[in-house]
Amino acid sequence: MLDPYKIREDFPILKRKINGYPLIYFDNAATSQKPREVIEAVKDFYENHNANVHRAVHTLSQEASEMYENAHEEVAKLINADGFEEIVFVRGTTEAINLVAYAWGLRNLGRNDEVIVSLMEHHSNIVPWEIISRLNDFKIKYIEVNDDGTLNYESLENLLSKRTRIVCLSHVSNVTGVVNDIERVAKLAHEHGAFLLVDGAQSVPHLPVNVKKLDADFVAFSGHKMLGPTGIGVLYGKKDVLEKMEPFHGGGEMIREVSYEPSKRRCSIAWNVLPWKFEAGTPNVAGGVGLTAAVRYLKRIGMENVKAHEKALTKYALAQIQKSCKRVNIYGPTDPTAKCGIIPFGIEGLSSHDIALFLDNYGIMVRSGFHCAQPLHEIFKLNSSARASFYVYNTREEIDAFIGVLKEIERF
Amino acid sequence: MANVDDYVARTEGTCGKEKDVIVTFKYEKKDEAFKKILDKATVKKSIAGIVFELSFKTFSFRLYASGKVIFRGLKDKDELNTLLSELLSVPRK
């Protein structure tokens, strides 16, 4: 097991006080805090190695290129990808999904095709497909969600057909923490000749993720939710799938050759090799360096330990809420074995924003609203929800303080 | 009438069907704003000096000791500004 008290010493922000109270950060599903190691890695890059990457022979550029390429290698090892070629750096999960929607979907989906998306998705795994479907006129079919927030696999099986080209599904719901059976879905999708795109934003930071075992064709995730900097994220894609895809953005770095042909009065273009084919323009090198530090930090803790710690916290929090709070409603499953460290909740008679402001007064940060998952809230018949989400530095004492304030709010 | 910009650091529409608006007062002005609003509005309910459910004219809203107010049911930004201006302009009793 990991030691959260020791880990906390690595996170400078956790020493902060908010409104006179020690900061309790329970908004980890939105973004994580950063250990000193990550902050120092970014600082060190700018202080000692900063240069644009690739195609320069000078020392700084060589150093920066090596650091940036290493970042791809580190991420590949974390998720057991076949190599750095399968790791495309993007700004975050949203951009990764948009990359697949535009670079693959726009060119390959047409009137007779169908895309399957679940109703528990974050908007970033719904909207890109809705946009592309309006351009290419393909159909989107939505997998139903059970009353408890779990995926309705029967609904998925009924929707799959020869027309299905891709199934888009989150590994872990960002609202309920429900963990979907990706291996099962991959098998079903592949049996129908469809790709599987997994939104791993809430799984890669919190669980051991082995892309070979999952057998997903694409996995998208964000660096900032896994202790890394903002503005850096990852699209994992199977090499043979990425090879066949056209680029997303055009510009420098993603081309091997651009040559003007006077007879045709246009340029001929040859794409760069993977993963650079999908990384147009000057990349977020410092972000990559920070992400390397974050991945190393998580590996040192061990992803199994991260998972176990969060499960234990979730189990404790759910039990304490059920025991101590009379008006707190928990949405989604209350079985901690079925979910990650995310607890959506509400208090009768109060809006989620009131709950969040009240907790904020005591230095406790939780999110309120739709969490960019309005369809799931509509299924739950909720106007919004409050959400507490845990990570490696959270403790039982923090949960006790949180529940103490919930009890106070119940008096209102 | 008070200049709302002197007091307000940030106004944010919330995410969710409620369409609440959260106003955060400037740190150096939050105590003054807090007192002025409490003087002007009627307290319907409160907990431990942390949150106050208030009413003023036809509006009801919640004021937090951390220097934030949550308004609901407002038509638009103009209505918010008029309301805040009235609340903040009133001298203490």
One domain for residues A98 and A159: yes
**What span, in angstroms and rounded, lies between the C-alpha atoms of A100 and A233?**
14
> Looking at residue A147, which CATH number applies to its domain?
3.40.640.10
CB contact under 8 A, B66 and A353: no
Domain end (from A274, A299, A324):
A299
Domain containing residue B35? 4-89
Cβ atoms of A394 and A306 closer than 8 Å: no
Angle between helices A303-324 and A285-301 (to 10 degrees): 80
Q: What is the pLDDT of residue A1?
A: 84
Which of B18, B45, B64 lies nearest to residue A361, judging by beta carbons? B64
According to DSSP, residue A91 is labeled S
Which of A352, A361, A412 lies nearest to residue B45, judging by beta carbons? A412
- As for how many domains chain B has, the answer is 1
CB contact under 8 A, A357 and B51: yes
Mutation site, B66, B68, B70, B72, interface A, largest A CB count within 10 A: B66
One domain for residues A346 and A212: no
Q: What is the pLDDT of residue A136?
A: 97
Cβ atoms of A25 and A387 closer than 8 Å: no
Rounded to two decimals, the pTM is: 0.95
One domain for residues A153 and A285: yes
Q: What is the pLDDT of residue A55?
A: 82
Which neighbouring-strand residues pair with A354? none
- From the CA atom positions of chain B, what is the Rg in Å? 12
One domain for residues A203 and A293: yes
**What span, in angstroms and rounded, lies between the C-alpha atoms of A311 and A179?**
12
Domain containing residue A120? 39-299
Cβ atoms of A13 and A320 closer than 8 Å: no
Chain B contacts to A (CB-CB under 8 A): 14-18, 20, 22, 45, 47-48, 50-51, 53, 62, 64-66, 68, 70, 72
Q: What is the pLDDT of residue A154?
A: 98
- As for how many domains chain A has, the answer is 2
Q: Which residues of B touch A357 (CB under 8 A)?
A: 22, 51, 62, 64, 66, 68, 70
Looking at every residue in chain A, the average pLDDT score rounds to: 97
Distance from CA of A394 to the nearest CA of B (A): 24
According to DSSP, residue A49 is labeled I
Q: Is the pLDDT of residue A84 over 70?
A: yes
Separation in Å, CA A256 to CA A71, A235, A252: 22, 21, 9
Scanning A170-324, the segments in alpha helix (DSSP H) are 182-191, 211-214, 239-244, 285-301, 303-324
Cβ atoms of A61 and A52 closer than 8 Å: yes
One domain for residues A112 and A234: yes
Say if the ipTM goes beyond 0.85. yes
> Looking at residue B24, which CATH number applies to its domain?
3.30.310
CB contact under 8 A, B65 and A384: no
Q: What is the pLDDT of residue B90?
A: 59
Angle at A295 between CA A293 and CA A296, to 5 degrees: 65
Cβ atoms of A376 and A175 closer than 8 Å: yes
One domain for residues A171 and A319: no
Q: What is the pLDDT of residue A292?
A: 98
Domain end (from A255, A271, A299):
A299
Q: Which residues of A are identified as catalytic? A: 372
One domain for residues A215 and A324: no
Distance from CA of A95 to the nearest CA of B (A): 22
**What span, in angstroms and rounded, lies between the C-alpha atoms of A133 and A140?**
7
Q: What is the pLDDT of residue B14?
A: 86
Cβ atoms of B24 and B75 closer than 8 Å: no
Query: What are the pLDDT digits (tens) for A370-392?
Result: 999 999 999 999 999 999 999 99
**What span, in angstroms and rounded, lies between the C-alpha atoms of B70 and A79?**
43
Query: What are the pLDDT digits (tens) for A150-208?
Result: 999 999 999 999 999 999 999 999 999 999 999 999 999 999 999 999 999 999 999 99
Cβ atoms of A237 and A217 closer than 8 Å: yes
pLDDT band at B91 (very low <50, low <70, confident <90, very high): low
Domain end (from A270, A299, A328):
A299
